[in-house]
């Protein structure tokens, strides 16, 4: 009985670790200049899949408006801008935030307010 409980706890701990994201950028990820970041996101739609299975859709319109929606039903419309190597958004529900962005190959990595690093994938 004790070994079954121990195995269950071990499996739960491994599952929890598998659902976490790193909190530091990879060493080969590089900061993105403000103008390059502006160009990278303007007019594009990005998807983010969080470790817990929640997904985001973020559209960055050229006029500085962004639309955000999550698979949990949260949606937001607000303003976006690039400031240095940060992607800044401001909305009424979610509030204002400026998140560090790094580039790794063709991918953009975003450091969330909670420190979690997630990958932003361009949608076609």
Radius of gyration, alpha carbons of the chain? 17
pLDDT, average across residues 90-102: 95
Report the alpha-carbon angle 24-25-27, nearest 5.
115
Given a cut of 60, whether residue 14 has pLDDT beyond it is no
Given a cut of 60, whether residue 11 has pLDDT beyond it is no
Number of helices (H), then strands (E), belonging to the chain: the values are 2, 9
Query: What's the pLDDT at 22?
Result: 87
CA–CA separation, 123 vs 91, rounded Å? 22
Q: Identify whether the C-beta of residue 83 lies closer than 8 Å to the C-beta of residue 98.
A: yes
Query: What's the pLDDT at 15?
Result: 42
Of residues 52 and 1, more confidence is placed in 52
* 33's tokens: 């200049």
Query: What's the pLDDT at 16?
Result: 44
Given a cut of 50, whether residue 8 has pLDDT beyond it is no
pLDDT in tens, 26-71: 999 999 999 999 999 999 999 999 999 999 999 999 999 999 999 9
Name the CATH topology of 2-122: Lipocalin (2.40.128)
- The domain locations on the chain are 2-122
Query: What's the pLDDT at 106?
Result: 85
CA–CA separation, 76 vs 26, rounded Å? 30
114's CB contacts (< 8 A; 6+ apart) are: none
């Amino acid at each position: 009985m004790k070994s079954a409980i121990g195995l269950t706890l071990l499996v739960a701990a491994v599952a929890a670790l598998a659902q976490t994201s790193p909190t530091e950028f990879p060493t080969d990820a590089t900061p993105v200049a403000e103008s390059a970041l502006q160009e990278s996101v303007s007019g594009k739609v990005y998807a983010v899949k969080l470790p817990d299975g929640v997904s985001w859709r973020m559209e960055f319109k050229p006029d500085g408006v962004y639309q955000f929606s999550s698979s949990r039903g949260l949606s937001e419309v607000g303003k976006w801008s690039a400031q240095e190597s940060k992607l800044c958004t401001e909305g009424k529900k979610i509030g204002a935030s400026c998140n560090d962005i790094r580039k790794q190959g063709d991918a953009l990595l975003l450091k969330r307010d909670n420190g979690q690093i997630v990958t932003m994938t361009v949608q076609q």
